[in-house]
Amino acid sequence: MNLTELQEIKILDPACGSAEFLIEVLKQLKEKNFQGTVKIQGYDSSETAINTSSFLLNFEKRNVWDDKLSFDVKQVNDSLVEDWGNDYTIILMNPPFVSWEQLNDKIKREAIRLVLNDNFKGRPNQASAFFYKAIQNLVVGGTLGSVVPSSLFTLDVYLKLRNEVAETVNLELLGKLGNFVFEDALTDVSIFIGHKPETANNVPTLLWTRNEKGIVHDALRELRKMQYANEDSKNKIDFSIFKLNQFPVVEDSWKTVSFKEHNLIRNLKLFVTANKLSKTGDIFDVQQGIRTGNNDVFKISDNILSNLPEEEKRLFRPVIENESIKDGFLIQRNYIWYPYSSSGLLFSTEEELFHQVDCFYTNHLLPHKDSLSQRAGITFWWELTRPRNWQFENRKKIISTEFGNSSSFAIDNKGNYVVERGYAWQPRKKMDNEDHYFYLALFSSPFFDKLLSIYSKQLAGGKWYDLGKKQTKDIPIPNVHISEVKNSSAYG
């Protein structure tokens, strides 16, 4: 933004709080010797915040800006329903990070739907609506600076929104700040700076910080120094700031990575292009486990199993759930009712079921008949909701938990286990015994944790990732069907 060309700047903060952002931008404008007039519009739902903002802005007006500053800060129930206007030169905001589930006000939910229109399907965070509305109300030549939930940068449900924004504004800076930015905040926080309109071949600067206390302040201080010194990059252990050559780093995502991770991804892409590595989705079909429709009825402990007649025990199989794998080993904890053979469901009448499994039928199934019958998508009330017919036959398979890391993979050699809260990694081409163990070693390595941290969705509470098909399909790995890999020392 060329300040010398502007006679007037209009600034909006639709969730202004106590005017921290507004006071800071006024300070920056003075430092840059802006000579024009400034008009400020602010909204907030807190009366105390509005009173504080009015006091501070009045102080600026009297002591610094005189008649060159005017402002209007209003207390509103929800600024999303307000008419913001569409002529703001600068929009700065830290919008409310309220999940759909926490938003009990129907009017506020409807406001989010109206703002996002068809750019989101599902349950959006309130902040995403503020973000999108700000983009729409930015004047040509204007700049948006916003704190946003990191999920807005990475989740597939925001993909259409991201694409719409990228076609409207230049992405100037994307920064991942973590969850130590605000006191007692649990949400992972990022920042966005964009300039309107969008121009061809523009790539943003990335700001990445290690998710530890105190690092963000050092990184932002270094960013400001770099801007004054006109430097391009800064790469340290705790943070990275660098200009990209190509964007996005990860397909269909605005994921912010470190400089080291960026170089790793670039090299991996080169190996994939040269057919020296393949995407995981080209080698494995990662299949989701069963859904019983009622775990309390169909899943039993080994104590309950031991009290069943021998002929009934054969209808239960050990189950893979999130606690069933540890450091490559299977932990046999619970069993699942699985009345299926290679031909499908074993019992087609309730009379047959009663005669074959009298004990389990009488003591466990029958008392829940009404609730089991109300499940959608079933023919017989004693069957599982989604039994996954690929599990009808016992086959050797690599398995993982639903969420985890490199310690969450194992091999089911005999195919006895039924995957429930987990995934079966089924090879798309035939693999021999050594191939299975090669991939188990790969998936169990610390390097695979690094790949998960780049390509998959990290869960709250530590280094845990979504191991599902969507999150892992693009991870580059060696392909044992290539002779060069099969004959390598690494394979051996």
**pLDDT tens by residue, 311-341:** 999 999 999 998 899 988 998 889 999 999 9
Q: pLDDT confidence of 184, banded at 50, 70, 90?
A: low
- Cα atoms found within 13 Å of the Cα of residue 268, Cβ hemisphere only: 22
From 72, 55, 161, 159, select the one nearest 115 (Cα to Cα). 161
**pLDDT tens by residue, 396-443:** 999 999 999 999 999 999 999 999 999 999 999 999 999 999 999 999
Q: Compute the distance between CA of residue 5 and CA of residue 337 in angstroms, rounded to an integer.
A: 73
The mean-pLDDT minimum among 97-101, 168-172, 261-265 falls in 97-101
How large is the angle between the packed helices 259-273 and 446-455, nearest 10 degrees? 90
The predicted structure's pLDDT at residue 157: 87
Q: Are the beta carbons of 465 and 452 closer than 8 angstroms?
A: yes
More confident call, 381 vs 4: 381
List domains and CATH numbers for the chain: 77-273 (3.40.50.150), 283-486 (no CATH)
Query: Residue 461 above 60 pLDDT?
Result: no
Among residues of the chain, what percentage have pLDDT more than 70?
Answer: 98
Q: How many Cβ atoms sit within 10 Å of the Cβ of residue 234?
A: 16
The predicted structure's pLDDT at residue 198: 67
- Phi and psi torsions of 145, nearest 5°: -125, 120
Mean pLDDT of 81-102: 91
- DSSP character at residue 64: I
The predicted structure's pLDDT at residue 485: 87
Cβ-in-10-Å burial (0-12, 13-18, 19+) of 213 comes to: exposed
Q: Are the beta carbons of 248 and 255 closer than 8 angstroms?
A: yes
The predicted structure's pLDDT at residue 221: 92
**pLDDT tens by residue, 339-369:** 999 999 999 999 999 999 999 999 999 999 9
Nearest 5°: CA angle at 149, between 146 and 152?
95
Arithmetic mean of pLDDT over the chain = 91
Q: pLDDT confidence of 186, banded at 50, 70, 90?
A: low
**pLDDT tens by residue, 8-34:** 999 999 999 999 999 999 999 999 899
The CA dihedral of 332, 337, 341, 342, to the nearest 10 degrees, is -70
- DSSP character at residue 254: -
The CA dihedral of 233, 235, 239, 241, to the nearest 10 degrees, is 10
Cβ-in-10-Å burial (0-12, 13-18, 19+) of 116 comes to: buried
The predicted structure's pLDDT at residue 457: 81
Q: How many Cβ atoms sit within 10 Å of the Cβ of residue 110?
A: 12
